Structure 1
Amino acid sequence: MSDLIRLLGVSARGRHGVLDAEKRDGQDFVVDVVMEVDLAPAGRTDELDRTVNYAEVAADVVEVITGEPYDLIEKVAAVIADRVLARPLIAAVEVTVHKPQAPVGVPFGDVQVVVRRGRDAPVVIALGANLPTGDGIAPGATLLAAAERLRELPGLTEVSLSPIFGSAPVGGPEQPDYVNAVATARTTLAPSALLAALHGIEADFGRVREVRWGARTLDLDLVQYGDPRPDAPATSAVVTSDHPHLMLPHPRAHERAFVLRPWLALDPEATLRLGERSVAVRDAIRDVADQEIHELEGGA
């Protein structure tokens, strides 16, 4: 069963309705928000930034209720759901908007509209390795095996893997050359849950995090979560986060040929969110043309 945060009975006065009097005089609205969140990290660490700040969600709800007037409470519910789902820890949300003073014309107790929204977003995952695993699996074979693990991951579908490239290390201590690839997929997982699953796969292949930018048996980076196009629906919109535990989009992806080259080989129309704008990967790669990288025959 999924963990839930229930925020019930948030009330404010708004001017939503199809009648002129509703727009002019306003009326009271009450909203319930139920959020599906993995609360294990918060329970383990007792840190606020590992969960959803429901005070901020409540403020968002009030801002929508008291803000731009809409004809339909269906629209009010959808706008609230979209704003809530922008938070990277939330996998799904249910929003109930109550309109107890609606001009129904007969005695009634309440009018409610309920909308449910879950995620269905494209994702980009960078794979890299430059050490054999403890049982002797070579880095190239590790990437292929890791891709199979991604295909088996619940909540991740349509996994495609790029050709495998070889690249010289960028930064860090002296170490062997890397093999690199990029996978694209779709997911219903929240960004934080997907990242945790990627870390679990890394651990299964013997990844340790002792030296920053050091050699590794497997590295799985969540490069981008969501569709960076401005007209993307909220359920697949790009997610941005500057939290140390979840940096999205990856802050250095546009500087790394070992991410851009495989990504472009897999998707010639690939687009990367960079700050407040989106950049075609085919254009971004021009800035890293001096970085050593080459496609490997047979993925070896």
Structure 2
Amino acid sequence: MSSYLGDYGGPVDQVAVRGIRGRGTHGVLAHEKRDGQEFSVDVVLHVPTLRAGSTDDLADAVDYSVVAQKAHAVLVGPSLDLVEAVAGRIAAEVMADPRLVAVDVTVHKPQAPVGVPFDDVTVTVRRTRDDVRADTPPEAPVRAVLALGANLGDPYATLHEAVLDLSVLDGVSVVEASPVVDSAPVGGPEQGRYLNAVVLVDTTLSPRALLHACQDVETAHGRAREVRWGPRTLDVDVVTYGDLRLDAHELGLPHPMAAGRRFVLLPWSMVDASAVLSEHGFTRPVAELLEDLLDDEEDVVVRTDLTLPFGLPPAT
């Protein structure tokens, strides 16, 4: 039993349904899609059960027969290439119940074409409530804050082009770009200084879809993730997405390091004087967070000679 308290009250317990079986046509090989094979799945639900245990009422419990039916429908349903996709599809179907805090799904493929003697092939995925939120598009456009940085090649040209790339993304509308700042590297190996900026956008993409769109822009400019905090052609981080707070796979919101980064807070405060940021459960003005940081005039310098698309030149 976890000490976490679920949204529906009480500690989070586990309910498991194991060995759900079905014949499916999932796989990348032609004979797998033609002939099919047997699959099975184990589903572990992380859900508060205190109320159901007290009332003894099915209406207060997650109906595991429904969970089994959803899993079985995916197993025998339309063909998918990867077991990972099967597991992910089942997890998404099961997490449609808002009472669930998380789900673990293990798909077994004992007849997989491995080519050597073996007992089983399994893929296990976990999806949390925050993962669901990360993949849910907003009902109306949401204001998001993106932080850009570059220190390889021609950083200014890269930032200039990146803002234009962001502006033509489906579901993204650039509102305004901040002045450019020149900053010293933080952490990582010895490297050159960065040019940084903040871009305000309105988006109809889900948080994770926005992240992936930003990563596509990075990739288009030759971003390689080889050295942690190493030099880069382009970095595009999602700092905030409305007032959403998330701890999802590959995406934490607000960005967990933003409150301690002058090269983010300074240009952000210049493009939005009323900006606020949540940190450790407390919401504070960005300008106030900036004042808390050591002010080294060589650390972050405003480049009055550089202007980005959708931006105004900084005051001189």
TM-score under structure 1 length normalisation? 0.61
> What secondary structure, in the 3-state scheme, does the structure 2 residue paired with 1:217 have?
coil
- Counterpart of 1:260 (choices 259, 262, 265) is 265
Query: C-alpha separation between the residues in 2 aligned to 1:173 and 1:85?
Result: 33
How far 1:89 sits from its partner (Å)?
0.6
For 1:290, give the aligned amino acid.
D
Question: Which residue does the alignment assign to 1:178?
Answer: 194
> What secondary structure, in the 3-state scheme, does the structure 2 residue paired with 1:172 have?
coil
For 2:275, give the aligned amino acid.
A
Question: Which residue does the alignment assign to 1:17?
Answer: none
Structural mapping, 1:142-291, within 5 Å: 142-226=158-242, 238-291=243-296
Query: C-alpha separation between the residues in 1 aligned to 2:142 and 2:256?
Result: 19
Distance 1:50 1:209, change over 3 A: farther
For 1:298, give the aligned amino acid.
D
Structural mapping, 1:36-115, within 5 Å: 45-46=84-85, 53-60=92-99, 87-91=133-137
Pairing 1:296–2:312 present: no
> What secondary structure, in the 3-state scheme, does the structure 2 residue paired with 1:216 have?
coil
For 1:175, give the aligned amino acid.
Q
For 1:250, give the aligned amino acid.
H
How far 1:160 sits from its partner (Å)?
1.0
Query: C-alpha separation between the residues in 1 aligned to 2:83 and 2:155?
Result: 33
Query: C-alpha separation between the residues in 1 aligned to 2:255 and 2:182?
Result: 21
Distance 1:285 1:193, change over 3 A: same
How far 1:157 sits from its partner (Å)?
1.3
Distance 1:84 1:242, change over 3 A: closer
Q: Given that residues 272 and 280 in structure 1 are in contact (C-alpha distance below 8 angstroms), is that contact kept between their aligned partners in structure 2?
A: yes
Q: Given that residues 202 and 218 in structure 1 are in contact (C-alpha distance below 8 angstroms), is that contact kept between their aligned partners in structure 2?
A: yes
For 1:293, give the aligned amino acid.
V
For 1:275, give the aligned amino acid.
H
Query: C-alpha separation between the residues in 2 aligned to 1:156 and 1:241?
Result: 20
How far 1:46 sits from its partner (Å)?
3.8
Distance 1:199 1:84, change over 3 A: closer
Query: C-alpha separation between the residues in 2 aligned to 1:269 and 1:57?
Result: 36
How far 1:141 sits from its partner (Å)?
1.5
> What secondary structure, in the 3-state scheme, does the structure 1 residue paired with 2:244 have?
coil
Distance 1:287 1:155, change over 3 A: same
48-57 or 198-207, larger mean C-alpha shift: 48-57
> What secondary structure, in the 3-state scheme, does the structure 2 residue paired with 1:213 have?
coil
> What secondary structure, in the 3-state scheme, does the structure 1 residue paired with 2:96 have?
helix
Q: Given that residues 146 and 237 in structure 2 are in contact (C-alpha distance below 8 angstroms), is that contact kept between their aligned partners in structure 1?
A: yes
Q: Any gaps of 5 or more consecutive residues in structure 2?
A: 1-58, 60-80, 101-128, 308-316
Distance 1:44 1:167, change over 3 A: farther
How far 1:52 sits from its partner (Å)?
5.8
Query: C-alpha separation between the residues in 1 aligned to 2:282 and 2:88?
Result: 26
How far 1:58 sits from its partner (Å)?
1.5
Q: Given that residues 130 and 248 in structure 2 are in contact (C-alpha distance below 8 angstroms), is that contact kept between their aligned partners in structure 1?
A: no
> What secondary structure, in the 3-state scheme, does the structure 2 residue paired with 1:220 have?
strand
Q: Given that residues 119 and 190 in structure 1 are in contact (C-alpha distance below 8 angstroms), is that contact kept between their aligned partners in structure 2?
A: no
> What secondary structure, in the 3-state scheme, does the structure 1 residue paired with 2:166 have?
helix
Query: C-alpha separation between the residues in 1 aligned to 2:264 and 2:239?
Result: 9
Q: Given that residues 169 and 178 in structure 1 are in contact (C-alpha distance below 8 angstroms), is that contact kept between their aligned partners in structure 2?
A: yes
Report the aligned-residue RMSD: 3.4
Structural mapping, 1:13-52, within 5 Å: 45-46=84-85
TM-score under structure 2 length normalisation? 0.58
Percent of aligned positions that are identical: 39
Query: C-alpha separation between the residues in 2 aligned to 1:190 and 1:255?
Result: 26
How far 1:243 sits from its partner (Å)?
2.6
How far 1:130 sits from its partner (Å)?
0.3
How far 1:290 sits from its partner (Å)?
3.0
Q: Given that residues 130 and 247 in structure 2 are in contact (C-alpha distance below 8 angstroms), is that contact kept between their aligned partners in structure 1?
A: no
For 2:149, give the aligned amino acid.
G
Query: C-alpha separation between the residues in 2 aligned to 1:176 and 1:84?
Result: 36
